[in-house]
Structure 1
């Protein structure tokens, strides 16, 4: 008797039993403690980098010395800096809090796939980063709703083990929630990773921090995390786009006007009109509040934005949409207009980075037909775009500090499936509407 059928049946039974076992989630962890230490006022702190247009990088850091220069020296050899760039600086006051001097300096042009060494403000220590490749493959680490807890630290440690090129964060960074010193500790927490790879972020509800009649929203976020909005033709730091290695990424704002009469919507139309899918066959979109969410938390909060913008992104054949806000993980089929659609986007909710509010455990049952995988656990994702046609997505659950790969799928681009060509007329019609 051929043993292969028996082995196959045993494997399927084993897989079914394992899948049926409910994952026992570990308990929540406390907020991290950052002991105060006296540092030289000119010491660069909270260093992080982000894209600033083609072949350029923005270096951001904070000093307590208000006279410290916004200068970055850099080169391809440690301690030998062949180039220097002068930047700008800002600061802000928030009730009784006064920020340090926040420096933003753009460096470049830079070579692709190259390690650069740099110093900020002429002061040690030396940092280094690696520029992304010029073409595929490229890997993105993805984690939202980070905060500053023990689970945050575990998530960051796992991301640090990943050989990634760019970090994508769909909102809710520090969970400072009006306590401005928490922005400083968050910058300190992420510096080891954010100074070595570009972090591309968009805002969440915890970045608002507005006080009616006293403070406008997003002051801290906009001052500290300047993104390439000007370089991408946007008038707001809350929405922008960038391109890297065959990918066009659009970062949208869930908490600024986004209806069809808004500046953001008009900018999005203009940005999509510039996209060349031969040059950038993959189109990624990030924002904070998910449109497809079968968790009971935050139901319906993205409906207004979805009604206005989903037809536009669908016509543009967006491949993958990342969101946060819901403190859990969920992946959909390709979906559009509330149902499965072979030319729709894969929606991934990944608001499970490690925040202080805990996980969203309750899901709607039965699950919608478009929901493929969902679990309320902390973790992070990795998107390895292999070429113009295929990408490999994995989600890594934090399981007692071990990154357990719990969900994985190969995703085929809409360019290769013919959807982009099919929707050319539809997109052109929407883009030319007044």
Structure 2
């Protein structure tokens, strides 16, 4: 913990280590967002924010506990905002996010960032991936496909390592099996375990594939089918457990998830599905939908079977990396970017920045871009109070 505190002090230019997590942004739309951070001490905290070159506004935090969620409203679509959080005379450095708007954009997908102590920390593996993602230009949002941490005490390390990424974009979190209860997930991210949102021409659906979800899977699946009726031309879905995988421990992938959702995904015209849980990179095609396993954000690598499920197209087992997603109304380009190769005995060799080891354009007959409408987040009414739901739908 002492090492983490030192790293946090370097990442956040405050007078002391008053901010433990963040700040980071979730729930972004064309005209609103939520800024979150965790503080050590009870104090009167606030957020300063301004469009680049514009007037600065201050919103106080009304949170009573250590985790603060501050809603910013009345924002302008397709606009970059600078923000910082503070208390008294202490402030973090300037951070930024961009509101959603029309037109093409780029986002990032990665996941399974947990450490394997005592063999390696998040800093040693996840840190390499986070550094490369932070160097990407103009990223509208980052989807994390789950398993942020291994144990609850690892959250401090995750936010320290991911800080350079999270301070300058919007985070789209997926609940993994190591990430704690639904209450923990909602407390950390100000979101329930399944929800959806629009960004330009793209509809994004996030699902909860964890064991706990099966107690009421009928409700989630009914919501999914309704949610995917979105009229937007491009659709992606993210959840943690892969329906297709060559992981030796789960041959073929999660067949229950496959039976529950894959037919709906195909019938609804979903372009791509992102998952993790298998600590590797794999790509499959089934029912006209591309399935990508992106579990190579820093967790210990898994052994893959030589025999692959039907639909297998590509894969890399000992590679740290992330997927770059370039979205327009007419197409989605997926590029698997390799960050480092790791040998069986743990030797790490960095790849040149921007090394793309797999790529596909969806759909196959796609044409180049124009543009499409400002978005919104949608959270199932059963999972949030009415006030929060109406706020997210603005």
Q: Which band: TM-score by shorter chain? A: 0.7 to 0.9
Alignment of 1:24-423 (within 5 A): 33-36=3-6, 40=16, 42-43=18-19, 45-69=21-45, 71-77=46-52, 81-89=55-63, 91=65, 101-122=66-87, 123-132=90-99, 134-147=101-114, 148-163=122-137, 164-175=139-150, 177-178=151-152, 180=153, 182-208=154-180, 217-227=181-191, 237-255=192-210, 256-258=212-214, 262-273=218-229, 275-276=230-231, 280-299=232-251, 302-333=254-285, 335-336=286-287, 344-355=288-299, 358-365=300-307, 367-376=308-317, 377-385=319-327, 387-399=328-340, 400-402=349-351, 403=353, 404-412=355-363
Q: Distance in 1 between matches of 2:282 and 2:156?
A: 31
Contact 1:46–1:184 under 8 Å retained in 2: no
Q: Distance in 1 between matches of 2:85 and 2:5?
A: 24
Contact 1:145–1:324 under 8 Å retained in 2: yes
Secondary structure class of the residue paired with 2:92: strand
- Greater RCO (Cα-Cα under 8 Å, separation 6 or more): 2
Q: CA deviation at 1:44?
A: 6.9
Secondary structure class of the residue paired with 1:283: strand
Q: Distance in 1 between matches of 2:190 and 2:361?
A: 33
C-alpha spacing 1:222/1:304, structure 2 compared with 1 (3 Å): same
Q: Distance in 2 between matches of 1:364 and 1:52?
A: 42
Q: Distance in 1 between matches of 2:216 and 2:329?
A: 31
Contact 1:294–1:371 under 8 Å retained in 2: no
Segment of structure 1 superposing worse, 37-46 or 387-396: 37-46
C-alpha spacing 1:166/1:268, structure 2 compared with 1 (3 Å): same
Q: Distance in 2 between matches of 1:186 and 1:105?
A: 21
Aligned length: 339
Contact 1:46–1:62 under 8 Å retained in 2: yes
Q: CA deviation at 1:313?
A: 1.9
Contact 2:30–2:78 under 8 Å retained in 1: no
Secondary structure class of the residue paired with 2:63: strand
Q: CA deviation at 1:265?
A: 2.0
Segment of structure 1 superposing worse, 367-376 or 256-265: 256-265
Q: Distance in 2 between matches of 1:124 and 1:204?
A: 32
TM-score, normalised to structure 2, is 0.78
Secondary structure class of the residue paired with 1:150: coil
Deviations 1:369-416 (A, max 9, x none): 41110110211110112x222222111122323242111122217998
Q: CA deviation at 1:191?
A: 1.8
Q: CA deviation at 1:87?
A: 4.6
Q: Distance in 1 between matches of 2:183 and 2:157?
A: 17
Q: Distance in 2 between matches of 1:290 and 1:329?
A: 11
TM-score, normalised to structure 1, is 0.71
Secondary structure class of the residue paired with 2:159: helix
Structure 2's unaligned 5+ residue stretches are 10-14, 115-121, 341-348, 368-394
Q: Distance in 2 between matches of 1:104 and 1:396?
A: 32
Secondary structure class of the residue paired with 1:142: strand
Deviations 1:132-183 (A, max 9, x none): 55223111111110121412111111112222221111111122x14x2x21
Segment of structure 1 superposing worse, 322-331 or 151-160: 151-160
Aligned-pair Cα RMSD in Å:
2.7
Which of the pair is proportionally richer in strand? 2
